[in-house]
Structure 1
Amino acid sequence: MAAASRPDTEDQDERDEPPARHAGVRDLIAAYPWLPIPVGLLLSAFGVWCFAGLAEQVYQGGPVLRVDEHLLRVSLGLRSGLLVGALSVLTWLGDVLVVLPVSLAIGVLIGLTRKRWGPLVLLAASSAGTGLAVYLFKIMIARPRPQVVDALVVEDGFGFPSGHSAHAAALYLMLGAFGLRLLRSRWARGAVFAGAVLAVVITGFSRVVLGVHSPTDVLAGWALGASWTVLLLSLWLSGEHLPRLIDALVARKRPR
């Protein structure tokens, strides 16, 4: 009788075993820690290519300008007292007077709590590089602010690219990357990265609705800030993994 009940016991044990967990992105990166580096470089190059294409269209007066005018007229229908009031505040998320102190404060906080000062250097380089690039491209392209709609806030200078959008992409995407790397909880990582993307989108959207930038100004700002940040993160990861790669390559040639 005992022998007859054994198959049932084995079947029960098999049903009680938890299902095998499939490997995720973090498992892939753990197995190949160098993988984000070429991916990041490719994404950065793609962002530069997008920015160059938009800059060429704007500078030469290409068809994209008609799309800009159409979307700006569409944005007039979105203007309401409540939305304009909210966006007039949220648009400061990309202002250099907010981005710079936030970058320094978070970099110092990470340095004091995690004993890692690399994020502070990255945040400072991201803000400084983005600001310099925006300043130079504004002078070179010299695109005026939108004239199709009335601006609801006062802004000086040229329109292309959007500095607010570029600074928002550079800062908040880097903060999202830090969250993915430093936080342990999956929900916390997802919340931080989603909040970072939302801050970038809201900032760019506010510039169009408020009438101070054309949509291509915003897209170019996003491409510029994101590509610069991704490049910095890729170079940082390269510096971290290069010594290990050198050691592994040298170890293969040593006699055993």
Structure 2
Amino acid sequence: MAAVSHQEPPEQDGRPTDGGEPEPAGLRELVAAYPWLPVAFGLLLSALGVWAFAELAEEVYRGGPVIRVDEHLLRVSLELRSGALVGALSVLTWLGDVLVVLPVSLVLGVLIGVLRHRWGPLLLLALSSAGTGLAVYLFKIMIARPRPRVVDALVLEDGFGFPSGHSAHAAALYLMLGAFGLRLLSTRWARTAAVTAAVLAVVLTGFSRVMLGVHSPTDVLAGWTLGASWSVLLLSLWLSGEHLPRVINTLVARKRPG
């Protein structure tokens, strides 16, 4: 009877072999397999933002404890004021001004349309700016919160304080541009730079409004929440429109015989 030889299995060196387990999927593969996930997540974030804004608005309108927190933080901001910082923030605060936001939205929307042959971003930027401006105007009238009186304002501003229009416009515009960067830029470094620049623009704009004494911290927080929620909602609806035909085709194909 012939001896039976036992062969040892080939050693594994960590590299993929034929017939082995596939490499683990990443976030991009997950989104490609389930395109409705970003839409659902975006709608959830937008709903949470609306809820948070409503809670802030109620606290401010009723004169809740948040008013005392605002006054304390405004007094703390006095200790941080310096000539150089105030000078820099007086320039950076223009990042959220309508006179800057509208031209930037128009120019970048047209630029993306010409270079990438996609005009959806221009429409989204226009809706983002218009919707944010209208919402800020209406809520300022409804809440009718005066500008801070605890500190002296370093720039001239009129009208009511809640929510901060500069902060809302900055959040709506720059976060949307960051989302476009994630979608349109090809390298990881470029995408990271776009998102980082967008977040910095939003944070610096809001910080400048408090340091210049024209808004309370809750005005800024409400502005960020309002602008971000509106842009996230628009982006979610845009994504749903892009993926809806694919989802419909998949559902119909499952019901077809054979």
Compute the TM-score of the two structures, normalised by the length of structure 2. Answer: 0.92
| Aligned-pair CA distance for 1:21 | 5.5
- TM superposition shift of 1:143: 0.4
Post-superposition offset of 1:27: 2.5
Counterpart position of 1:17: 15
Q: Which runs of 5+ in 2 are unaligned?
A: 1-6
Q: Deviations over 1:59-89 (max 9, x none)?
A: 0000000000000000001100010000000
Equivalent residue letter for 2:202 = V
1:125 aligns with 2:127: yes
CA change 1:89–1:18 in 2 (3 A) is farther
Q: Deviations over 1:145-189 (max 9, x none)?
A: 000000000001000000000000000000000001111211111
Once superposed, what is the RMSD of the aligned Cα atoms?
A: 1.7
Does 1:186 find its partner at 2:184? no
Alignment of 1:6-155 (within 5 A): 11=11, 14-15=12-13, 17=15, 22-155=24-157
Classify the secondary structure of the residue corresponding to 1:35.
helix
Aligned residue in 2 for 1:3: none
Counterpart of 2:222?
A: 220
Q: CA deviation at 1:228?
A: 0.2
Alignment of 1:162-173 (within 5 A): 162-173=164-175
In the alignment, structure 1 residue 242 sits paired with structure 2 residue 244? yes
> How far does residue 17 in structure 1 lie from its aligned partner after superposition?
3.0
Aligned match of 2:4: none
Q: CA shift at 1:137, angstroms?
A: 0.3
Q: Please list the CA deviations of residues 206-234 of structure 1 after superposition, one character each: whole Å capped at 9, or x if unmatched.
A: 00000000000000000000000000000
Question: Could you tell me how far apart the structure 2 residues matched to 1:68 and 1:186 are?
Answer: 39
Letter in 2 for 1:112: V
Per-residue displacement from partner, 1:223-255 (whole Å, max 9, x unpaired)?
000000000000001111111111111222222
Give me the whole-angstrom Cα distance separating, in 1, the residues matched to 2:65 and 2:92: 31
Secondary structure class of the residue paired with 1:211? coil
Shift of 1:32: 1.5
The answer for the alignment partner of 1:161 in structure 2 is: 163
